[in-house]
Amino acid sequence: MIAVVDYRAGNAPSVIFALERLGIPCRLASRPDQLEHAERIILPGVGAARATIDSLRDSGLVEPLSERVLGAGVPFLGICIGLQVLFDHSEEGDVEGLGWIPGQVRRFADTLRVPQIGWNAVQPTQPHPLWGDVAQPAYCYFVNSYYAVPADSSDVLATTEYGIEFCSMAVRANIAATQFHAEKSGQLGLALLANFAVWDGRTGATSPSC
Amino acid sequence: MLTKRIIACFDVIAGRVTKAQQFQDNIDVAAADALATRLYDDQIDEIVFYDITASSEQRKIDLDTVRAVARHVFVPFTVGGGIRSIEDMFEVLKAGAEKISVDSMAVRDPDIIRQGAEAFGRQCIVLSTQVKAVGIRQGIPSGYEVFVDGARTATGMDALEWVQRGAALGAGEICVNSIDRDGTASGYDLDITRAVADAVNVPVIASGGAGTVEHIADGLTAGGASAAIISSILYSPRFERNLGVREIKDGLAELGVPTRPYLDT
């Protein structure tokens, strides 16, 4: 069972629809007790970093999430804002993140059209079970004004170009995250979600395609 | 590299997709969820759905149809029509849409753009605007005027001033609908599309008039748009031959316009 964290600023229904299409058992989790028996957790997200963090705190979800993901090592996938809140700090609203992955979240330069909206190439930088046989580079759907800068380059799983080369997927032990909307990236995005649904949370990659 | 987007647009009445010419004479095409599924399977980049009678009938948007489409479509999905409040937006997002399109309601209450962007992020709010070439005159320095309510009501507002204000209020995308070109298959109004793209720093969507692949390419190059809305070319019964997404993307590639690669399945 995958728990999809449901909070006011999120787009949990889209993720649920995608998992249902894949035939993957899942349910919304808006209360701490709904995370207790989850085998995997997805934190979807749209919108602003501060609203997301505030919403998670108000729902009392931060502690149980940390307990399950950092403590119990449950495989975790953050999506879009669900990636950005994993870092130490975001320039968006000068907000402290969860700090699960060391690094900062910065805004794209004003010389670009911001937000970045559309399909962009995701280029893997290291092998990982999440890739499976997903075509590379994978064109995925992005909507973001900010991007993460992991402090440790070994936490970068893929990069994408938008004015600069930025981290479009991050991974650290059992914690993975996509800056793009995997649930809205067509067949490739669904394939990534399907790979997450069988991922054991270890990074030791065996994917022969990388 | 960020590619250009091809967006299929549905004008929906009671769960059915219809096709108009210059915002009039809608003819029935197909059930919205069936057509959305077909186009998703054909790898369309994005879908936008307007409940075109919600606003004039003073009713809320048809959430059942939004939900039915969202269940089948795993590419971005924008919904507009009859959105009056943050609560309306919240309901549409919870029904599975990614983005909210505001148009006539935003003209009446511009603050809804700011409120929406604050609550859900600016990427969530698309300001769609119906524009008509009226000539440069007092109060309309760009020569394009904003209309509302299905192109029926002139507002006296200048199109360029309005989109700049909308972007400043928090709109994350601007969709420029040419009333003159809607359903005519004579090409986008490139002048106003380019003027808007130059005036704002958010992505701009060209809309109204695409009849050929060349028109789409023009909107995305000369028009300066990041995305192109198409409908007739995909499914209008008024067209002798509709094109599939692959044919459109292949044609755009030949014209030097990059889009998300079509996957062989």
In this predicted complex, what is the ipTM? 0.94
- pLDDT level of residue A10 (50, 70, 90 thresholds): low
CA contacts within 13 A on the Cβ side of B43? 20
Element (H or E) spanning A195, and its range? helix A186-196
pLDDT of residue B199: 97
Domain boundaries, chain A: 2-196
Q: What percent of chain B has pLDDT over 70?
A: 100
Please tell me the distance in Å from A72's CA to the nearest CA on chain B: 30
| Residue B260 counted as domain residue | no
Of 3.40.50.880, 3.30.479.30, 3.40.50.2300, 3.40.50.1370, the CATH number of A2-196 is: 3.40.50.880
Point out the catalytic residue in the list A26, A80, A140, A167: A80
pLDDT of residue B183: 84
In angstroms, the CA B153 to CA B46 distance is 29
Point out the catalytic residue in the list A92, A140, A167, A181: A181
Find the CB nearest B74 among A9, A11, A184. Answer: A184
Query: Residue A20: its chain B contacts at CB < 8 A?
Result: 71
Q: What is the pLDDT of residues B81-140, one digit of tens each?
A: 889 999 999 999 989 898 999 999 999 999 999 999 988 889 999 999 999 999 999 999
Is the Cβ pair B2, A118 closer than 8 Å?
A: yes
| B contact residues 105-134, partner A, Cβ 8 Å cutoff | 118-124
Q: What is the pLDDT of residues B189-213, one digit of tens each?
A: 999 999 999 999 999 999 999 999 9
In angstroms, the CA A10 to CA A43 distance is 8
| Residue B183 counted as domain residue | yes
Least confident of A6-10, A13-17, A178-182: A6-10
Is the Cβ pair B98, A181 closer than 8 Å?
A: yes
| Residue B259 counted as domain residue | no
Q: Does A183 qualify as catalytic in the annotation? A: yes
Could you write out the three-class secondary structure of chain B?
Answer: CCCEEEEEEEEEECCEEEEEECCEEEEEEEEHHHHHHHHHHCCCCEEEEEECCCCCCCCCCCHHHHHHHHCCCCCCEEEECCCCCHHHHHHHHHCCCCEEEECHHHHHCCHHHHHHHHHHCHHHEEEEEEEEECCCECCECCCEEEEECCCCEEEEEEHHHHHHHHHHHCCCEEEEEECCCCCCCCCCCHHHHHHHHHHCCCCEEEECCCCCHHHHHHHHCCCCCCEEEECHHHHCCCCCCCCCHHHHHHHHHHCCCCECCCCCC
| Structural domains counted in chain B | 1
Q: Does A181 qualify as catalytic in the annotation? A: yes
Q: Does residue A181 surpass a pLDDT of 70?
A: yes
Longest dimension (CA), chain B: 56
Q: Does A167 qualify as catalytic in the annotation? A: no
| Residue B158 counted as domain residue | yes
Residue B141 or B59, more confident: B141
Is the Cβ pair A113, B5 closer than 8 Å?
A: no
Residue B205 or A54, more confident: B205
Q: What is the pLDDT of residues B78-89, one digit of tens each?
A: 999 889 999 999
Taking a C-beta distance cutoff of 8 angstroms, is the pair B107, B75 a contact? Answer: no
Residue B20 at interface with chain A, using a CB cutoff of 8 Å: no
| B contact residues 198-227, partner A, Cβ 8 Å cutoff | 201-203, 226-227
- pLDDT level of residue B214 (50, 70, 90 thresholds): very high
A–B interface: beta-carbon pairs under 8 A? 116
Average pLDDT of the residues in B228-244: 92
Q: What is the pLDDT of residues A109-140, one digit of tens each?
A: 999 999 999 999 999 999 999 999 898 899 99
Point out the catalytic residue in the list A26, A92, A167, A183: A183
Average pLDDT of the residues in B61-81: 93
Query: Residue A49: its chain B contacts at CB < 8 A?
Result: none
Average pLDDT of the residues in A75-81: 96
Q: What is the pTM of this model?
A: 0.94
Segments forming the whole domain that contains residue B98: 5-254
pLDDT of residue A204: 59
- pLDDT level of residue B52 (50, 70, 90 thresholds): confident
Q: What is the pLDDT of residues B131-167, one digit of tens each?
A: 999 999 999 999 999 999 889 999 999 999 999 999 9
